[in-house]
Each structure stands twice: as structure tokens, then as C-alpha cells.
Amino acid sequence: MRARAVVESPSHLRPHPLPLRVTLLAALLHERKREITDTLVELLISTVHRIGVRAEKKVTEQLVNAFEKVSGKENTLFKLAEASIGELEGTVREVVYPAVSGGEQTLRE
């Protein structure tokens, strides 16, 4: 019914009997409403996807920038791991902080 209504201009729908005219217009409007809804949903999905990609990129950049702030980070992490494994019974303040030059502040950075 929609295909039939699409090819006819509004002036050509007028001569049809009222039940047929109403049916054709209802079919046309129903399908058009579905098309608009589908298009809006696709637009929303693509917008949310773009926002997600931008947010992910921004977070990645922040993490990379934060990772680069402390010089000698790899050596510090190795010292930290060695101290943690070497002294399993000690507390963090007794074992981990002294193993890193700069102590707690370096670990926070």
C-alpha cells in the first residue's frame, strides 16, 4: 500500500474512495515514521560511538602523559618488584617505600 501511495501525488489520491485514500495515507505515514525513527536511531548510535572513540583517545593520551612524567619509571618498577618479593612479611612503609628513591612521593607520581 505504501508503494502505491508513494507513486501517487496527493491530488491523485483525492479521487479514490475515502476508505482507500485513508488506507494509502496511513500506510505511507506509518512507513515514513518508521524510516525517520530508524534514521534517528542510527544517527544517535553513530554520535555515541564518536563520543566514545574521542573519550577513549583522550583517556589514552592522559595515561600516556601520566606514564611519561616520572623519569626512570621502569627501573623504579623493577626495584619495587624486587623489594616486594624479597621481603614478603614486611609492611609497605618498611619494604616498598625505602626501595624507591624519593619514597612515597615518587610512587604517587
Determine the distance from the C-alpha atom of residue 18 to the mean position of all C-alpha atoms in its chain, rounded to a whole number.
50
| Phi, psi of 16, rounded to the nearest 5 degrees | -65, 155
User: If you compute the radius of gyration of the chain from its CA atoms, what whole number of angstroms results?
Assistant: 34
Residue 103 has pLDDT above 90, yes or no: no
Per-residue pLDDT tens over the stretch 2-28: 777 777 777 777 888 999 888 888 888
Q: What pLDDT shows up at residue 85?
A: 74
The pLDDT of residue 67 is 67
